[in-house]
Structure 1
Amino acid sequence: MTSGDDYADSNDICSSLGFSCVQWNKTIHLTRRRYSSDCWETNTMVIPAGCECMWPVHRLGDMNLRINTNKNKMPSPTIREFYKGRNILVTGGTGFMGKVLIEKVLYSIPDVGNIYILMRPKRGKSVGQRIEDMQRLKLFDRLKSENPSALKKMKPLQGDVLFDQLGLSDSDIEMLSNEVSIVFHFAATLRLEAPLKDNVSMNTIGTQRALDMARRFKNLVVFVHLSTAFCYPDYEVLNERCHAPPVQPEKVMKLIQWLDDRQLALLTPSLLGPHPNCYTFSKRLAENLVEEAHQDMRVVIARPSIVCPSVKEPMPGWVDNLNGPVGVMLGAGKGVIRTMLCNGALVAQVTPVDIAINAIIAIGMIEGSRTDKPESLPVYNVNNGHHQPTTWGDVLNIAKAYGRKYPLSWPLWYPNGDITTNQFLHEYRRIFYHLVPAYLIDFLLFLLGQKRIMVRIQERISQGLEVLQYFTMRPWNFPCANYDAVRLKLTPEEQVIFNTDITDQNREEYMANCVEGGRTYCFKEDPSKVVMNRTYHNFLYLLDWFVKIMFWLFVLSCLASWFQPVKSIFAIGEPVVKHLPFLGPVVSKIEEL
């Protein structure tokens, strides 16, 4: 028989697993003959026969449960144990973070199941051809070298979050519903300056479609939604929680279907409210949809800050786009960007892509292996700005020093840009350092019969900088308690394999790797030509000073021509001044008079 204490222990075990303890009883019928009599009597006894843990009404997925009767709780699985044999669906798998996620999972979790990648045909290439092109990237070199068979687990699926049911065929949907237990929803447009319709269609409605599809997966364990740490600009402290959106997502989703582009453009400012652009607005709406899904799904939000090139994996400095600070650094290195509104005293809230991906993989395990249902939606601010605070001024100085030592190939002008918080000074520099040279170059191209491109390029740069400057001109406060706790929930071995801490990282070395990554993977430049680049760089340095001197002499000559006091001042040094271009002839005329 089971005693009351044993029952209490069993009940504690079941409760710790999120189950119900059901007491089983045995009914015993006793029959006996009375002493020295022919009469028989019966007696019925009910005795407890033990406790059995029963599944909850809502099945949370194919959880592998292990009861530790000594500690009365289930030990957490390791990352590799959790992902072992499980199939994953990734949306946005062809993007910067998506590719790094796929490579890291295949490399560090060799026993993972298949990774289904939602893709669309592009530029005349099928999804099969695109996956082959992706596997040829240097990103996958270590995987091809050490475990090439893992690449076979990359399964492309033709689809798109812009279409109902993700644009998937019925057979693909049936297959996914039976096989997939983990979803990483990364699909999003990162064009901060894109109009409302584009952002909401991809970031908000696309998220709703991904959630609807995940609800059909019979063995779903966790749905990881990739958001952004900047989606609540109206809050001084951006805690790891969701806030109500300024407008209900359902209303906005209906609006973009009813109104044309012109009407939406007129309505956009009133809809955005405190948001600086449609991107953060649409991501905030998406978070609200995920929060609503928390009622009946196991969902979690990961909010990275500005994502930058990798620290270490799959190689130092890996990057495949010019978004964010990397694009600014490389544009400045090419002499195209020479001014930007930025507060150099503010901490740069950035995180390397491999560190962010390590955290997201771990977050999937932590939330997917939970046996209790959290009261509120789990949110993780994935940010490393507090691990090793580095200001935007530090970033500029380190990048400048490295760029002068190892310059990029054939910059348009000497790379000597600067940042400022003064709007007037920024506009002055933008006109004379960006627009005037662009018009001059386009004029030369026109004379040579070539296509004029520089003004258009500078307009796009100005538009991009205007959007980015919002994030570099105000302080951001991201409490990261949940994110910092991720590392503590990993084994010592996995703290190394899935590192989420960059406290000891050499920032000068990291910045150098960022520049080299942009040079190699974005500009496809040959690093061995640095000596030749340095020679051209020195020539541009002298040319830059020559042009500056000529410009200011021209300005001073105009002032001397227009204002008598200025003329008189320069007349004092007439023996020397008369030999100067522009200013000399003006002073000589004064002397003749």
Structure 2
Amino acid sequence: MAVITRSENIEKPLPEGIEKVDKHKSVPVSVGEFFAYKNVFITGGTGFLGTVLIEALLDTHPDIGIIYVLVRGKRKVDPNERITRLLQKPIFQKYNETVLQKVVPVVGELSEPNFGFKNDLLEELADKVNIIYHSAATIKFSSPLRTAIRTNLTGTMRTIEFAKKLKNLSAYIYCSTAFCNSNNRGLIMEDVYKSQYDPYEMMKMAEDETSWVDFTDAKCKEIIRDHPNTYTFTKNLAENLMISEMSGLPAAIVRPSIVYGTWEHPIEGWVGNANSGHLGFLAGFIKGVFRTMCGKASSVIDIIPCDYVINASLVMGWYVGTRKLDVPEVIHCTSGEVNPLTLGELSDIMNASVKRHPPDNFVWKPKTKLRNGWRYNLFFYLFHMLPAMIFHIPEKILPIGMPQHTALEYMRVFNKGAKAFDYFLDRDFRYSLKNALQIMSVLNEKDKKRYNFDSTLCDWSAFIDRCLIGVRRFYFRESAVTTSWHRRYWTIFEVLYYVGYALIFAAIFGILKTLVGFYAGLPIAVLVWAFLFWL
């Protein structure tokens, strides 16, 4: 595997007056002080990570400047109204109106030159903006290649072009993903791995209409090669673009793994809309809708609290903004190497956690189990798809805003997403944290505590408790307090769970008794029932 080292990719000399220094040398500026009086530009600010980032920026220093949030122009949707609704979320309740007015929307398209800004707005931002956080991306594993290139690669190029227009650039932070190198094996280092294609050629291809005539899945697979999907492929390309374009500039790449809810900041268990990735699975799990996971029990699932990712991003802004570096810094924000959690352990923790903190209502007793291959597929179709076709699922236990008649389609989408994620659960990816831990070591003691992203300190059982309560509280709008009523409700469903199996046996036996008689039907019914119970 080719790795772009920190010496072989400096395509231009360092700017005049910049000297090479010890990059880990401590400087007398705290993280909060670094953000004072600086204006920030954010892409992806209305997403889960982006929302927590905005709150964290407001919290860094009372004198932080304006936070410009790039928002897409949509018909009948006023951008100011979008930001107003965003700032009404519970994580912003501690801020007064004066502070919240620092968050300002700017309408533009990520993949367009200069974001489609008019000249006066572009000049204003070039004069004022000091820090860029680029987190906007299409995170769907199944995104068409052209869409993924335009958003994840061309969009990154646009933010880089914008950064170079700034009169006073202090820091540029790109939120990548630990999975961008998932086509490699062994310990993945905090370096940029050379892409299989030239990122500039890929951007040209995305704009060439003839390249997409009769473009098939087979052609896509031929291009992405050993990458599992278009997401990891384009994220790797974007990192290569960073190395080529950002040499000598204060830039960093942060690579998170699977992002869950918050551990501590701004509040415990914040999960946003809980409608993507494993947070979406948790939302269905606690309502008894999703009752199986695919993967090996011994596989390490690398999860990380959302606020750890944000803390790492803030620290990297401070870090690259207070040092002179030759190429962008790269850090992993992961847990598997220092505090591993297996898929089997996660399943057990989730089952124990939901028993301690059951929701107000659910379809069936929440319980998940690991299954693989035909066993997973059979269980999914028997106990997920079939009930969705037969039974009425109350809207309040489906994802917010989803009509009842789309429950079946939701199951299909979930199954497709789960299968796409199987790639990451069947392999143990290992991520070096050497650079991340070194950078954390130069923080002062107060900042180490406030901006911690060392996952060795995570208690996974307590963390899943917080996430499940967060799903109850913020997504389903239920109480965060678990009462004796919740426990009685759980006990009733636990009894019904086993009564249900008895009824299944009775139904099977009744059908077989009619077809083949009592003596032949009984042993067959026992075998069928035992198989379903095992399944």
Q: Same fold (TM over 0.5)?
A: yes
> 2:267 aligned to 303, 315, 333, which one?
315
Of the three residues 273, 281, 285, the one matched with 2:233 is 281
Over 3 Å counting, the alpha-carbon distance change for 1:57 and 1:342 in structure 2 is closer
CA distance in 2, matches of 1:97, 1:410: 29
Query: Match for 1:419 among 370, 373, 398?
Result: 370
- The yes-or-no answer on 1:256 pairing with 2:206 is yes
| Larger displacement relative to structure 2 (315-324 or 534-543) | 534-543
Q: How does 1:162-177 map to 2 (within 5 A)?
A: 162-177=111-126
Change (3 A) 1:247 1:551: farther
Q: Which residue of 407, 421, 436 maps to 1:483?
A: 436
Residue aligned with 2:172, SS = strand
Residue in 1 aligned with 2:332?
A: 381
Kindly report which structure 2 residues correspond to 1:72-111, keeping only aligned pairs within 5 A, or say none: 75-111=27-63
* CA distance in structure 1 between the partners assigned to 2:441 and 2:394 by the alignment: 61
| 2:112 partner letter | F
What secondary structure is seen at the aligned counterpart in 2 of 1:263? coil
Distance change >3 Å, CA 570–CA 107, structure 1 → 2? closer
CA–CA distance in structure 2, aligned partners of residues 344 and 475 of structure 1: 11
- The residue type paired with residue 348 of structure 2 is N
Q: Note the C-alpha offset of 1:264.
A: 4.9
- Given that 1:215 and 1:297 are in contact with CA atoms closer than 8 Å, whether structure 2 keeps it comes out as no
Residue 390 (structure 1) aligns with: 341
Offset at 1:433? 1.0
- Aligned-residue CA RMSD in angstroms? 3.2
Q: 1:25 maps to what in 2?
A: none
Quote the residue 2:9 is aligned against: none
1:165-564 to structure 2, matched below 5 A, reads 165-236=114-185, 237-257=187-207, 258=209, 259-260=211-212, 263-295=215-247, 297-320=249-272, 321-371=274-324, 373-374=325-326, 376-420=327-371, 422-441=372-391, 452-527=405-480, 532-552=485-505
Q: 2:89 aligns with which of 137, 143, 147?
A: 137
Secondary structure of 1:322's match? coil
Distance in 1 of aligned mates of 2:469 and 2:357:
9
Letter in 2 for 1:358: N
Unaligned runs of 5+ in 1: 1-55, 68-72, 572-576, 584-593
Supply the distance in 1 between the matched residues of 2:64 and 2:453 (Cα, whole angstroms): 21
1:74, distance to aligned residue in structure 2 (A): 8.7
Q: Give the residue type in structure 2 aligned to 1:428.
A: L
Q: In structure 2, what is the Cα distance between the partners aligned to 1:542 and 1:123?
A: 51
Counterpart Cα distance in 2 of 1:296 and 1:503: 33
- Residue 251 of structure 1, CA deviation: 2.9
Kindly indicate whether residue 102 of structure 2 is the aligned counterpart of residue 150 of structure 1.
Answer: no
Amino acid at match of 1:483: A
**Partner amino acid, structure 1, of 2:254:** A
Return the offset for 1:464. Answer: 1.5
Residue type of the partner of 1:238? I
Report Cα offsets for 1:282-336 as digits up to 9, x if no partner.
Answer: 1111111111113353322111111111111110001112322222222122121
Q: RCO greater where, 1 or 2, for CA within 8 Å and sep 6 or more?
A: 2
Structure 2 residue runs of 5 or longer lacking an equivalent are 1-13, 396-402, 530-535
Change (3 A) 1:419 1:443: closer
Q: Please list the CA deviations of residues 18-47 of structure 1 after superposition, one character each: whole Å capped at 9, or x if unmatched.
A: xxxxxxxxxxxxxxxxxxxxxxxxxxxxxx
Cα contact 1:120–1:159 (8 A) shared by 2: yes
Question: Is 1:222–1:368's contact at 8 Å kept on the other side of the alignment?
Answer: yes
Determine which structure has more spread, i.e. the larger CA radius of gyration: 1
Q: CA offset at residue 533 of structure 1? A: 4.9
Q: Secondary structure at the match of 1:156?
A: strand
Deviation for aligned residue 1:262:
5.2
Q: Is the 8 A contact 1:249 1:285 kept in 2?
A: yes
Q: Which moved more, 1:119-128 or 1:285-294?
A: 119-128
Aligned partners of 1:408 and 1:530 also within 8 Å: no
Greater mean deviation of Cα atoms: 152-161 or 476-485 = 152-161
- Is the 2:255–2:333 contact (alpha carbons within 8 Å) kept by the matching residues of 1? yes
Matched residues in 2 for 1:444 and 1:494: separation?
46
- State whether residues 65 and 102 of structure 2, in contact with CA within 8 Å, keep that contact through their aligned partners in structure 1: yes
Shifted more, 474-483 versus 243-252: the winner is: 243-252
| Number of corresponding residues | 500
Question: Residue 328 of structure 1 aligns to a residue in which SS?
Answer: helix
Task: Select between 246-255 and 207-216 the one with higher mean Cα deviation.
Answer: 246-255
The answer to whether the Cα contact below 8 Å between 2:509 and 2:521 also exists between their aligned partners in 1 is: no
Letter in 1 for 2:104: K
CA contact (8 A) 1:103 1:143 kept: no
Q: Is the 8 A contact 1:193 1:463 kept in 2?
A: no
2:399 corresponding residue in structure 1: none
> Does the 8 Å contact 1:336/1:434 carry over to 2?
yes
Q: Distance in 1 between the 2:102 and 2:263 partners?
A: 26
Q: Deviations over 1:340-388 (max 9, x none)?
A: 21222233311111122111111111112213x33x4421111133443
Matches of 1:179 and 1:125, distance apart in 2: 27
Return the alpha-carbon distance in structure 2 between the equivalents of residues 194 and 254 of structure 1. Answer: 18
C-alpha distance in structure 2 between counterparts of 1:568 and 1:162, whole Å: 65
Q: Distance in 1 between matches of 2:472 and 2:342?
A: 23
Contact between 1:79 and 1:362, CA under 8 Å: does it hold in 2? yes
Task: Kindly indicate whether the alpha-carbon contact (under 8 Å) linking 1:182 and 1:221 is maintained by their aligned counterparts in 2.
Answer: yes
Task: Measure, in 1, the Cα distance between the counterparts of 2:303 and 2:521.
Answer: 54
